[in-house]
Amino acid sequence: MDPVMRMQGVSVSFDGREVIGGMDMTLPVGEITCLMGPSGCGKTTALKLASGLLKPDKGRIELLGKVIGPETQEDELVEVRKELGVVFQGGALFDSLSVGQNIAFPLKYCRGIEDPESISKMVLDMLEHVELEDVRDKYPAMLSGGMRKRVAIARSLVHSPSLLLLDEPTTGLDPVTARHIDQLVVDLCGEFGFTALVVTHDIVSALGIGDTLLLMHEGRIAWRGVPVEWERSDHPMVKSFAQGMVSVGRTGGEKM
Amino acid sequence: MNLLSWIGRQAIELFSTLGFFFIVGLKAFTGIFSGTWSKEDLFEQLERVGVGSVLVVSITSAFTGMVLAVQTLDQFVRFGATGYIGGVIALSMVREMSPVLTGLVVSGRIGAAMAAEIGSMKVTEQIDALRTFGLEPHVFVGVPRLLAGLVMLPVLTLFSFVIGITGGFLYVAAHGVNAHLFRRSVEALLAPSDIYGGLLKAAVFGVLIVVSACGQGFMAGQGARGVGTATTKAVVWGNMLILVFNYVLSSLLFGGIKG
């Protein structure tokens, strides 16, 4: 089966600085791929490339059958974007809309559903999936960080996208809420059968939910494998990243 | 050399900003017929721009009309031209003061708010979120605001005509000018073309305010500072464009010596 998204030799530069350099990445159908790496290594840029929000300076991206290259025009990407669900780092919920209206948004604009009763039913169904039935009429500013992430996940899935892209879904959350979000992603992936790319620097999260793990370093994929291979790996980048995460925890612990 | 490079940089920034405003305006105008914008948002914007500005436009117009009366009454009485005072106040309000003041008030009030809102949407990735739903942000965000500016500025300006002329009348009436004389003077000097010209100016100002506010919002840099800078620039650009276009439109509509 063709992968949902395939990057080949993709490079992107900002202000003359190469952020992504010759990157190759494939997202197999129905799998959760976790893209890890330290801050500033180009993870979010890679996610924006995978979602078609950014175009590559070099190379090509096949996204749901549509080829995106440096010359691709913005209006050529409209239809393929409607098949995506994107959860941004801060949720990116629309402040001026209630939770219910936020979740209804893709139904109206990606699927063209106008019937209020159908929309209301689908919104409620989605809110039940993320266990937030009571917040439909609240506004994003009235929600906690974890609730906003769950609403963002609900909004990204309500129109049944083929590919879900999550940017740091557990960042800024306490460990309990973070694991709850992880479980939600795994459960929903099993139920809806979508393919997912999760960008994260949370190793615990990646090992818990990822079918495939990718480690980025300075704009390139430095390592790829499955969670079991990660734990056994002698790759210097893997060790360095894993140890870096541990040492930060120890320093914090000693200070306490 | 430094002065030259500074002038060069300013010129580049000026033309690139104007170019971006033009693109934003063009996309919003052409997007009106695409249907990929929210009707609910249009009603919200009509209320924000129109209803929300009525009080401040009323106060500004009433006192401007009164100040016009204060400045002209003594001179007109001295030259025995009391019979023209109503017409002069009405002409000043309808051709210049009402459209310009309404534009400047709305630019300060609504232009700033629009730029801050769109800037915040950009910083918090809501603009990117719109794109992931297959929407063009310049159309989805721009069209309701553009239509609100285009419709509500003339409505507010019409309101300002009435309030401003009434303010001027109240001042001169309090100083002994006959109400019938005032009305006759207004009828004699004010032509329908003056009203149409004033309303046309207001519609153009409405577009300029929205285009500069949306343009600056979309160009906002990162963080609170970026949003703050965009807000300030939106008001500065909006006011500047209103005054420049006011001269151009006044020259085209009312300029020259007519018989």
Residue A253 predicted with pLDDT over 60:
no
Closest in A53, A74, A105 to B128, CB measured = A53
CA A221 distance to own-chain centroid: 17
Q: What is the structure's pLDDT at A249?
A: 43
Residues B212 and A117: their CA atoms lie apart, in Å, by 39
Q: What is the structure's pLDDT at A251?
A: 43
Residues B210 and B165: their CA atoms lie apart, in Å, by 28
Residue A81 to residue B133, Cβ atoms within 8 A: yes
Q: What is the structure's pLDDT at A143?
A: 93
DSSP A68-131: E-TT--GGGGHHHHTTEEEE-TT----TTS-HHHHHHHHHHHTS----HHHHHHHHHHHHHHTT
Of B88 and A251, more confident: B88
Closest to A218 (Cα-Cα) out of A7, A56, A22: A22
**pLDDT per residue over A99-141, tens digit each?**
999 999 999 988 889 899 999 999 999 999 888 889 999 999 9
**pLDDT per residue over A78-96, tens digit each?**
888 988 999 998 889 999 9
Q: What is the structure's pLDDT at A231?
A: 84
Closest in A74, A93, A106 to B133, CB measured = A106
Residue A38 predicted with pLDDT over 90:
no
Best B132, B136, B141 member to test A by mutation, with max A CBs in 10 Å, is B132
Residues of A in contact with B36 (CB under 8 A): 109
Residue B34 predicted with pLDDT over 70:
yes
Gap from A88 CA to chain B (nearest CA, Å): 7
> Mean pLDDT in chain B?
93
- Give me the residue label for tokens 């809102």: B117
Highest mean pLDDT among A9-13, A33-37, A178-182, B101-105: B101-105
| For residues A14-33, average pLDDT | 90
**pLDDT per residue over B239-259, tens digit each?**
999 999 999 999 999 887 765
Closest to A203 (Cα-Cα) out of A171, A235, A174: A171
The pTM for the full model equals 0.87
Side-chain half-sphere exposure of B256, counting CA atoms within 13 A:
5
Asked if A88 is an interface residue toward chain B (Cβ–Cβ < 8 A), one would say yes
List, in sequence order, every beta strand (DSSP E) within chain A: 5-14, 17-27, 32-36, 58-63, 66-68, 84-87, 163-167, 195-200, 212-217, 220-225
This model of the complex carries an ipTM of 0.86
Residue A81 to residue B120, Cβ atoms within 8 A: no
Residue A176 predicted with pLDDT over 90:
no
Q: What is the structure's pLDDT at A245?
A: 61
Gap from B122 CA to chain A (nearest CA, Å): 9
A248 — pLDDT class (breaks 50, 70, 90)? very low
* CB interface of B with A, residues 192-221, below 8 Å: none
Residue A109 to residue B135, Cβ atoms within 8 A: yes
Percent of chain B with pLDDT over 70: 98
Q: What is the structure's pLDDT at B20?
A: 95
Q: What is the structure's pLDDT at B5?
A: 92
Hey, which residues does A18 pair with through a beta bridge?
A: A13
- Give the burial class of B96: count Cβ atoms within 10 A of its Cβ; 0-12 exposed, 13-18 middle, 19 or more buried: middle
- Contact (Cβ atoms closer than 8 angstroms) between residue A82 and residue A159: yes
Closest in B44, B125, B133 to A88, CB measured = B125
Residue B69 predicted with pLDDT over 90:
yes
Q: What is the structure's pLDDT at B255?
A: 81
Q: What is the structure's pLDDT at A4?
A: 87
Residue B132 to residue A86, Cβ atoms within 8 A: yes
**pLDDT per residue over B178-226, tens digit each?**
899 999 999 999 999 999 999 999 999 999 999 999 999 999 998 889 9
Q: What is the structure's pLDDT at B258?
A: 64
* CB interface of A with B, residues 90-149, below 8 Å: 90, 92-96, 105-106, 109-110
Residue A74 to residue B133, Cβ atoms within 8 A: no
- Contact (Cβ atoms closer than 8 angstroms) between residue A123 and residue A100: yes
Residue B100 predicted with pLDDT over 80:
yes
Q: What is the structure's pLDDT at B74?
A: 87
Percent of chain A with pLDDT over 70: 95
Gap from A79 CA to chain B (nearest CA, Å): 6
Residues A152 and A103: their CA atoms lie apart, in Å, by 8
Q: What is the structure's pLDDT at A171?
A: 83
Q: What is the structure's pLDDT at B15?
A: 94
Residue A247 predicted with pLDDT over 90:
no
Q: Which two tokens stand for residue B53?
A: 């500005």
Residue A110 to residue B129, Cβ atoms within 8 A: no
Q: Which two tokens stand for residue A175?
A: 């460990």
Q: What is the structure's pLDDT at A252?
A: 40
